[in-house]
Amino acid sequence: MHANSPDTSPLGKASEYPDAYNPSLLFPIPRQAKRDELGLHGTLPFFGVDLWNAYEVSWLNQRGKPCIAIATFLVPADSAFIIESKSFKLYLNSFNQARLDDAQALSAILQKDLSAAAGAPVQVTLTEAGNFQQLKMGELSGLLLDRLDIEVVDRHPDPDLLKARHDEAAVEETLVSHLLKSNCPVTGQPDWGSVQIRYVGAPIEQEALLKYLIGFREHNEFHEQCVERIFVDILRQCKPQKLAVYARYTRRGGLDINPWRSNFSSGSLPSNLRNARQ
């Protein structure tokens, strides 16, 4: 058993912000424990990435002048570990007084440290202040489930709600909801997100799907784990031929986490456009 668990992470504990670069601040948590709950053993039914954006990245040049950037990290879904977000924030802040040659030097250190913590290669992209105007915003595309007038009773995810009309012809459909909310499993703080579900298969009952998604409202799991639960529950209950689930979560501590899981390739990753709530 791995010693690192959410309860032993920096979450929910008083922390001193470091004044020197310290990669040991990163706190990896094994993915497999939660995947065991979902009955996922051996070959995963999906591939994907956790797409992180960090908006509070700073370091010093060799003359002591501060530099800033926005960082994007791609953590592969088949990595052994997720990186707990508060530890990630503390680690990034450990660069605040570090003197480096340039952004490329920072990127190389980040890639080395984060890949070691995740147990798989992590891609790092830094956008410096002079290029901030290149960053765009946009919303998840798809038919909005939130238009439906439904009665909600359960506030925990119930996969038995999910249904598809297998007596009808298969469809290709993209559905979106902005009503995803779950809670941090340690602090209980709310995590707010939007979710996009793309699938090919028997038509999924939209009202039932929306009730299921709203059911995460009092559910305690990390972002990555919620998205994998949604993917697995839809795959098992509705049996689509193709399925992709992508969630964009609002930021906390200068970080947003946007997990994507899919069982088919479109030839590219989902868009990293920041939405209105991010």
Cβ–Cβ under 8 Å, residues 80 and 30 = yes
Task: Single out the catalytic residue among 50, 184, 233, 238.
Answer: 184
Q: How far is CA 10 from CA 25, 83, 112, 159, in A?
A: 9, 11, 22, 32
Query: 226 catalytic, yes or no?
Result: no
CA dihedral 154, 160, 165, 170 (to 10 degrees): 100
Residue 209 backbone phi and psi in degrees, to 5 = -65, -45
Q: Where are the alpha helices (DSSP H) in the chain?
A: 32-37, 85-93, 103-118, 206-214, 223-238
Query: 67 catalytic, yes or no?
Result: no
Q: Where are the alpha helices (DSSP H) in 139-216?
A: 206-214
Cβ-based neighbour number of residue 134 at 10 Å:
7
Distance CA 208, CA 261 (A): 21
Distance CA 75, CA 50 (A): 5
Task: Single out the catalytic residue among 50, 113, 191, 233.
Answer: 191
CA torsion through residues 123, 117, 75, 95, sign: negative
Distance CA 143, CA 137 (A): 19
Catalytic residues: 184, 191
